[in-house]
Structure 1
Amino acid sequence: MAERARLADRPLRVALVTTFYPPHNFGGDGRYVQSFARALARHGCEVEVIYSDDGWRVLSGQKTSPETAPDEPGIKIRNLSSDKPFMATLLNQQLGTPAGRRRRLEAALSNDFDVIHYHNVSLIGGPGALELGDAIKFYTAHEHWLVCPNHVLWRHGRELCDGRECVRCSIAHRRPPQLWRATGLLDRAASHVDTFIALSESVAANHKSFGFKPEMTLMASFMPDEEAAASVPAPAHPRPYFLMVGRLEVIKGMQDVIPRFGEDAPADLLIAGSGPFEPELRALAEGKPHVRFLGKVDPGALPELYRNSLALITPSICYEVFPMVALEAFREGTPIVARDLGPYPQIVQESEAGLLFEDAVSLGDALRTIASDQQMRAKLGANGRQAVATRWSEATAIHDYFELIRQTAIKKRRQDLVDRLAALPLAA
């Protein structure tokens, strides 16, 4: 009775396990986990983020590492950093297990959690991490790593993948082929997870088509209810413009957009971001005065950049999962012009806040339509703002998450957890 009373009174305890976490992250998955942790804490949960900066140190090539982010109200940060990051990362990548950090990860996950939620675990433990801990277990697919050694289904660095050539493709991506993928490790490890979560229909469909056996539950992404970053003036621009925000890589597809901004362009193109493909893009834009590279932009300046643009262009030629830039644009009342691929058809259909294109002709048509039809552009922008306030709000996401926990707790006969969920904000 005393133990039951103790469990009934305590907050919901959630562990978030991930490879990357700010400041040790490259893309959106680390920032998503940070926003998710803060949202859970705001709604009464005790959260522990468990990650390792080993993979970040190896992949970034940085000799010195930023300090681990400090704990926040309701959030404890655990960085399982090792003294030999290269060896730990290599063993993890090859064997699919936590290797040199297994004991520390196992100890961290034994801390009386109600939910263990895995995110990108590629270099924090691989499939082997899914076997550790005793709690309700979820896994959110932020990439296609479960079915693709190189995460993005971009075969040989030049085309969408429609069939496995994983060894040659890994070599093309300059990564060692993974030994564990030739075994049944993933199937065995996946059996320890109660629910695999997909952030878009495209992600679920891709996993199924590439042979991933567990069914995936759709759960929408969200725009967090965080206080806005300190406002920073956006770079001034005298003419109407379209905007691209993101890392400049070949898979982002900007090489298909820049040629549309010649002398007859309906507006200018501002590109906010940097990356390894930037020199090629700058060469492509040479002699095109309608194209301007802004480089890395202070996050505080992005809202104004979005707000003043005609539309955000999202032309990725690979399968995105659910790009947060679309929600950031919608929040500012800005529509999107997106390639008809991956999650974008779903995003545009559900929001009614954008136009899709398939090729150079349809892209040009979409740009001219957005630039010339102010009434339609305002309608699309208003639809996007409304979609973020409802469909992709923090309140909707946390409500759905608590409901998923409740349903799983009922299946596992965890009545104490069901009772505590009923007392949490938005759980009813």
Structure 2
Amino acid sequence: MLPSSEIFKSLVEFKTPVFVALEEVADLDGTCKSLINSYLTETDLIDLLAIVKIQAIIDYMYEQVNIGNWKEVKLYLRKTITIASYLLLLAKVKCTIEVTESLVKEFYKIIDFGIMFGCPVDEAPDLLQNCASYLNSLSLLPHSITETSNKNQDKVNVENNKYNANLIEVIDCPSMEHFYKNYIVAEKPVVLRNCINHWPALSKWRDQNYFIKLAGARTVSIEIGRDYTESEWTQKLMTIEDFIKDFIFQTNGSTGYLAQYQLFEQIPELKEDIIEPEYCCFADKDEPVDVMAWYGPKGTLSPLHHDPKKNLLTQVVGEKQIFLFSPQDSEFLYPHEHELLHNTSKVDPRQPDLLKYPKYKDAKVYYCVLSPGQMLYIPPKWWHFVESLSISFSVSFWWN
């Protein structure tokens, strides 16, 4: 295994642009800023006491960013978390005598905490991701192999006509002009085939051990519970390896779901396995496309809801059944009264309670089963209910 001094030497090479990034946290109090600057300037000053001081800065910043509305958090606080997390990583490596498996996992936890609760600094936007990629290239962790079972991979059999629904149109890789005119402008859902046959993910992601080998020690946020409208629903930070072992192949207990998660920003190596569909170019604003991961066992679901953006829901592994409703049918779908759930319906289209929700009978139901290699275009404000029929990995592309 590579000596810790060599790892430290390589990680220090990432620090040059961080000096300039200190200008981005100009509002930081003098004591914190002075400590950060001193450790960046003189890495010889980094010792066990430095670990305590840097961790204290991170803890204080974390407290500050959790006060009030997340959207109103001042960026310099989050940028400080990013910079301090990098320094904490340096300090942990420098003060390490022997690089053990448990320490390597701790290195990754430091990085992922900084990514999740910090934000990119302008001068080094991929600072922590680059640190993780470097550690990953060293293969410091054994390649864990999880025990898998085929029983959970069998998909749920679904009768297409069971729900008295209109099947969504399925077409082969349309031209850009045809897609824009007939679906974007018309705001009409459609299933697209043979558009992502070139994605490496279609073959690589079928093996759960691929994720363990590539990113098993990385920490992510997992949703625990049936769906986000339930009172017992919660979120938990855990490693990808623990998520796979505890939830992907389990049929009993709580459901775990890596849902609506910016996994590809956190772990760029996974982003190399996918390619942004060219159809996303039909945008009203010059903004980047939001790319989200949805990874979970059979039975995970998103309750009937709508989103403000265009969406290409791309199925990579497994199958999902999806119900869609036009925005014109919103009055028949009984949205929740609570402000935070106003875009979510009370109705379960699989088993609608017509005594409780009588107007639902007037809604026009659209339906499809999305298979690996297919994409479903969901226009803005269209209601959709999504359920995994097997172990599933989907990628959604959202844009305005």
TM over 0.5: no
Shorter-chain TM-score: what band? under 0.3
Q: TM-score normalised to the size of structure 1?
A: 0.24
Instruction: Determine which structure has the larger strand proportion and give its number.
Output: 2
Bigger RCO (CA 8 Å, 6+ sep): 2
Q: TM-score normalised to the size of structure 2?
A: 0.26
